[in-house]
Structure 1
Amino acid sequence: MGQIVDIGRRIELVPMDSYFHDIAIALYQQHTTIGPSFLVHTYSRIEDVSQRIQFVVDAMQTLGGMELTESRLLRFPCGTDHQRACKRVFLEACKSDPMQLVESRPDTIFDKKANCDMTVLSYGNGRYQVTANGDESGKERRVSAITGGLIKLGDMITVDEKNSDQVAFPCGCSHDALVGLLLVRAPNVRAVAREQQMTASRGVLSSPSQQE
């Protein structure tokens, strides 16, 4: 009789990996002695699948500023789960072209609606400010929209009512790489939600015994 291993609770799924034989890859969360940790896992036994999983793990470290534990699990250095943000890091890592160098995202994007650059400034202790250059009208509204996007995508919080352009991580630690990743998606959170719904409806992750 085979031994049942608890790999944690599944929190995100890529049902068809377009870069590797359309396999299903999932992200699991575990509660360990050092805090919340994450496992990238697939039930596929295709040759070289371990290399594909390792690529995703490495990409998550680069894109989200995550680190590996002694047990080869992923975690944030602050020890907090940041679950919603971690799910986004996982999805973006799976989208990364394995033939291209994976690099952390910049802290500036060009916002088409405001027709100007939007930059996130880090003030330390997990606190960030969204700024817009130029004199284009409506940029304050776009700053507010992007700030709201960061809050939704990263479970960040508003600093105070007087500083509506500032957000922070509840853990009080800086996550610059993670913010750069979230900034790309923050201008259009609705599109992100639609994408996640479509992905979730495409399939499920099944163990080999369930696939027979």
Structure 2
Amino acid sequence: MRRLAPALAALALAGLVAGVPAAGAKRAPRCPPKGAPVVQKTARAVVFIRESTGAYIGCLRPRGKTRRLATPDDIYSSVDAVALAGRFAAYVFAETPACKADCPPDVTGSGHVEVVDLRTGRRAATRALGVTAFALTRTGTAGYLVADGLHAVNATGDVVLDTGDIPPESVKAVGTTIQWTKGGVAQSRDFP
């Protein structure tokens, strides 16, 4: 132990031991910045709006790296839902073509569901339009209900969980599980 003590002291002075900041090291900015409009927060993460750009930003609290989620223009595009669970943020983005009601029959809106790992920045997204229910597990799987059924998207892709009579209010995430009812019968699928 006597030989190890001088080596540890040298490392600490060099700022190489965990928890000891290097001389002159800058602290990461506070997340969210003071006064920023908060969309949603948990003890671990937050999504806020950067007022200068209107961008939805996510980060781990209190000083995690910021991750841009989406920048809607609130005229032709919008963020319709935001969810936080563990170190993950997810959102539903919808876009209407500029022609709006005067669009030709084959021109429709677009949208997507995206999950962002706020620690690594890794993203998983899928096209989705007309999302009526949305939930996020703490392991980064978003469950979302659209006209063709209940889907789940995560880093491994997009899968259909179920189709048919699924009430939007029954779709929820509990821990690592997506839960819903179909025809009054409880259903679930775990995403560990």
Give the TM-score of the pair, scaled to structure 2: 0.31
Structure with the largest fraction of strand? 2
Task: Kindly name which structure, 1 or 2, has the bigger radius of gyration based on alpha carbons.
Answer: 2
- Structure number with greater CO (CA < 8 Å, separation at least 6) is 1
Structure with the largest fraction of helix? 1
